[in-house]
Structure 1
């Protein structure tokens, strides 16, 4: 039925595609605005005495809901990243960092979340450290791997025969870590790019397919009722109008731009007590290693290496495989001579 409708509206196909693209953009914009306005103003505060933890939910100026938990029942505080999606097209609009109290009975209490900021993970980390110091409970990053106490499990390589992918150059005053690109990496990056930037191309191809399938169904209908079948095989070509190819070219251009962005060479420079992170020649982060807190690998919701200091955080993304992220953690630790299980 949908193919029939699209077939009869094929003269308006470009308008239909543009309409859906506008809806897609509005859907993402509304979701971004909602989380920027409300999610950074988390309405929960904590108070404690020697035995009880008092949780206050401040939903409005005149509405405060209180609950209590025995401090001895609070097992740990954890930090976890979570993807945020828009309501309509389910597009990924960012990552929120949540701070959670883990209760002995398995209950989880969300007490803070930080969204859409380069410092979001660091603010969540600071909040978790504050709770840890006040309640004297351990802190972990959910789903994380690493050689420090903040990791939920140790580094574990998926491939027992994994061959190092990262190159390392040592000089008397500097260590340089970087990834040497291989042709086999292209397929993984292509999959990531299409998953994130291929929506437009999918809409164009699916619309063209429905037009042709609707045309084919129309010919069958005419043959059944009028005994007249005159189907031209050229009609099987999904794209016949010049405007279609311009739209396809535009979609492919977006995908290529996203692919170039993801496949840029990443560099880690460690000089004395400074760690510098560069993408190509552009410096993205600079950390003071004398304040180093943790180096972690988080495989979900999107793989990343997370480097945390007392006041700053740095993430490394877009490496070829999960084991390459694990190797990055090991290489950075070795370069700054951090002994295992002692990153604090």
Structure 2
């Protein structure tokens, strides 16, 4: 029967248990109970021919860094389906100060999960290097917590038992090779997207970004939803004049989507400056901070309020 070493707290007790079990095997009345045994180990992220790489990695001091902020991580995942180790899909709908609302196929209206459970899982993963995706290890919402942990760069998920292991983000991922590269797939289209873009451009071939104010050709502007489209109702998706804005591909669209910037209730851009931030990104956030947003008005204010509450990192 396999032994999951990640769950073993007393290695000396395990050694004695193995010794007692093998002592009765192949007993020779003229000899002693000492025998050689072969142990087979399975290490997440390593194959049988990776012994040299595993030895080199074990020889290096562990440097897993600081656990990410749980609330910021959860906000970055809002609206994106994340899979549990068993393949079930969870979607984060809303993030509050202490809880996160998560929908599943079984709970389409969503259930609240304590952010403290995610924080505890992140701390365990960074302290131990790996965690079992079990109730004992991660709490009663272990499947969701495990799915969140698996989104961190450098993690490897193994099954039977389900374990999330954290490696360096530069960990050499094994890439699947495809003999046939072309295939067909069923694609879900956004029926209103073309009309939304046409409406925002208003017949112009170039227009200003609603966040930075710089003029760009239309090909470099995105019809960006202020509230994540995946979480909008059909009525909100059809509110074309208010639910979206023009954001440039030169940073503003990504910064808004990632929560580095938002728009306050007066229509001014707010920038979030994380500790130690420097260089070009800080300069750009400085330039955006306090600028008027061209898409802010009374009718679009509820969508910006949603973004501040659920996506903005500040």
| TM-score interval, smaller chain | under 0.3
Greater RCO (CA < 8 Å, at least 6 residues apart): 1
Higher strand fraction: Structure 1 or Structure 2? 1
Higher helix fraction: Structure 1 or Structure 2? 1
Give the TM-score taking structure 2 as reference length. 0.21
